[in-house]
Amino acid sequence: MDTPPVIRLSPPAGRALLTWNGKRLPAPLTVPPAIEVERSGATGRNMLIHGENLAVLTWLLANGYRQRINLIYIDPPFGAGIDRARRRRLRGSASTRLVAVPDVEYHDTWEDDAYLQFMYERLIALRDLLADDGSIYLHCDFRKAHLLRCLMDEVFGAERMLNEIIWFYPSGGDGERQFNRKHDTILLYARSDRWTFNYDQVLIPYTPRQLARFRQADEHGRYYWNVNPRGERVKTYLRKPGIGAYDVWTIPIDAALVRDVGYPTTKPPALLERIVRASSRPGDLVLDCFAGSGTTAVVAQQLGRRWIACDVNPGAIQVTARRLRRMPQPCDPASEGFTIVQIGETTPAPRGEATIRIVRTDAQITITVEGYASPALTTVSGDLSDWRCMVDEILIDPAYDGRLFRPTIVDAPQRRSALVSGVYTLDRRTTGALLAVKIIDVTGGEAWTVAPKDGETLTF
């Protein structure tokens, strides 16, 4: 048997500052296999990767991405000491009912030493992926921010630290034994001394009151005001359309979006928008290897950047893919479509069971989903007689090649009160020899059916 290739990582750039039990440099990493399993849209240039991220980063390093990533944003588990519960809702008239799924979305309980070694290995690999003018944002909170800052200093060099950003999210909740904890910390580091920072893309617009001061125009028509804040007479011109952004950001959490996305730690798109605009250009490559609900990928796609997003949790891949499929087609062809790739060993989504009837006539093929059952939903009380309240999406590839699923019929209603249709009529001339149907339920279960185009009426 051939020995799989291995990848060696560069040593950290800075001085070692922090130590822990079992601290060690990463051993050479064996390159895992990868398979493309699904493609949406015209091109598969953007990648949604299901896999453990050290394996994924190793694969990227071995496949031409070394120093090719322009921007990295990561939002790893915070070491909160709790496992993040899966919180999903039924659809349709039952859409206000939270589904009790006996499952966690992801684990966030760690021993300090294990957490630090986990982050250390990934940060070293991420540094090797980062382009010379690239930068990395590491999102964390009070639990680990101080430790992660030391790790970042060691891996990237303390002189590469650009900002400690404070994201303040005003919201409910009272701290009665200490001050309310309402901010996260985002550490921004550059790969070298020539990082990208698009200052003009993140200006804070002037308030009408500030603008009102600039009412005098000089002989060239440029506006200025002639008293500075200390009351001295100096000409201050309005040179830019706003004020340079601060390192304290007040961005509220959009509760409706969090509910709709259905992932426990979704970040606001406005937060990622500021990061992507500031530190990348259209067409650049953005990476998030703790993707969760895929906010980075969604925003990168919206802003015409290419992206790679990865998560170990099959539920995260489903949620991200759903958000991306619902997006309007972007105008920039560089960001069109995405491909789902599995790297290394992955945990499959739980299996649901569907009853599907396929009726063929000379001109048409009609696929009718007649029922759906998910093992995870047996714990839910109440009326589940309309199976559609359990189903988030139905995807159909009318010309399945037996290898890569390319759904061209996507029934994924946006509003939670809306239901999938369940009946799909295909023109026989546009179908291939095999039809493939995938059903994804609200708890993250999946049912998968492949049927020949020709043959008798089939019921699964």
Ligand X SMILES: C[S@@+](CC[C@H](N)C(=O)[O-])C[C@H]1O[C@@H](n2cnc3c(N)ncnc32)[C@H](O)[C@@H]1O
Between 80 and 450, name the residue whose CB sits nearer to ligand X: 80
Q: Which residue type is seen at 328? A: P
Closest approach of ligand X to the CB of residue 261, in Å: 7
Interatomic CA distance for residues 93 and 91, integer angstroms: 7
Residue 266 in the binding site for ligand X (CB under 6 A) = yes
Residue 70 in the binding site for ligand X (CB under 6 A) = no
Between 75 and 154, name the residue whose CB sits nearer to ligand X: 75
Residues 6 or more apart from 244 whose CB is under 8 A from it?
A: 199, 203, 204
Strands (E), 64-215: 69-74, 84-89, 98-106, 130-140, 161-168, 183-190, 204-205
- In the chain, DSSP finds a helix count (H) and a strand count (E) of 8, 27
Closest approach of ligand X to the CB of residue 298, in Å: 9
Considering only 312, 356, 367, 435, the residue that binds ligand X (CB under 6 A) is 312
Site for ligand X in 181-210 (CB under 6 A): none
Length of the chain: 460
Question: Which stretch, 4-12, 309-317, 332-340, 423-431, contacts ligand X (CB under 6 A)?
Answer: 309-317
Residue 52 in the binding site for ligand X (CB under 6 A) = yes
Closest approach of ligand X to the CB of residue 299, in Å: 9
Considering only 12, 14, 41, 77, the residue that binds ligand X (CB under 6 A) is 77
Closest approach of ligand X to the CB of residue 265, in Å: 4
Considering only 46, 53, 185, 342, the residue that binds ligand X (CB under 6 A) is 53
Q: What sign has the CA pseudo-torsion 47, 53, 56, 60?
A: positive
Closest approach of ligand X to the CB of residue 269, in Å: 9
Interatomic CA distance for residues 78 and 141, integer angstroms: 7
Residue 120 in the binding site for ligand X (CB under 6 A) = no
Between 268 and 422, name the residue whose CB sits nearer to ligand X: 268
Using Cβ positions, the residue closest to ligand X within the complex turns out to be 292
Interatomic CA distance for residues 47 and 148, integer angstroms: 27
Site for ligand X in 268-297 (CB under 6 A): 290, 292-293, 295
Considering only 58, 60, 88, 106, the residue that binds ligand X (CB under 6 A) is 106
Q: How many residues bind ligand X (CB under 6 A)?
A: 19
Look at phi and psi of residue 235 and say left if phi exceeds 0, alpha if psi is from -120 to 50, else beta.
beta
Interatomic CA distance for residues 445 and 448, integer angstroms: 10
Q: What sign has the CA pseudo-torsion 142, 147, 152, 158?
A: positive
Closest approach of ligand X to the CB of residue 416, in Å: 18
Q: What is the DSSP string of 393-430?
A: EEEEETT--SSSB---EEE--SSTT-----EEEEEGGG
Between 290 and 387, name the residue whose CB sits nearer to ligand X: 290
Residue 265 in the binding site for ligand X (CB under 6 A) = yes
Residue 144 in the binding site for ligand X (CB under 6 A) = no
Distance of CA 302 to the CA centre of its chain: 13
Closest approach of ligand X to the CB of residue 79, in Å: 11
Other Cβ atoms closer than 10 A to 413:
17
Distance of CA 67 to the CA centre of its chain: 21
Closest approach of ligand X to the CB of residue 324, in Å: 13
Between 305 and 360, name the residue whose CB sits nearer to ligand X: 305
Residue 316 in the binding site for ligand X (CB under 6 A) = yes
Question: Which stretch, 218-226, 308-316, 424-432, 434-442, contacts ligand X (CB under 6 A)?
Answer: 308-316
Burial class (CB in 10 A: 0-12, 13-18, 19+), 358: buried
Asked whether the beta carbons of 223 and 237 are under 8 A apart, the reply is: yes
Closest approach of ligand X to the CB of residue 214, in Å: 39
Closest CA to 312 of 140, 107, 64: 107
Question: Which stretch, 217-225, 305-313, 358-366, 417-425, contacts ligand X (CB under 6 A)?
Answer: 305-313
Between 156 and 290, name the residue whose CB sits nearer to ligand X: 290
Closest approach of ligand X to the CB of residue 271, in Å: 9
Name the site residues for ligand X (rule: CB under 6 A).
Answer: 52-53, 75-77, 106, 263, 265-267, 290, 292-293, 295, 310-313, 316
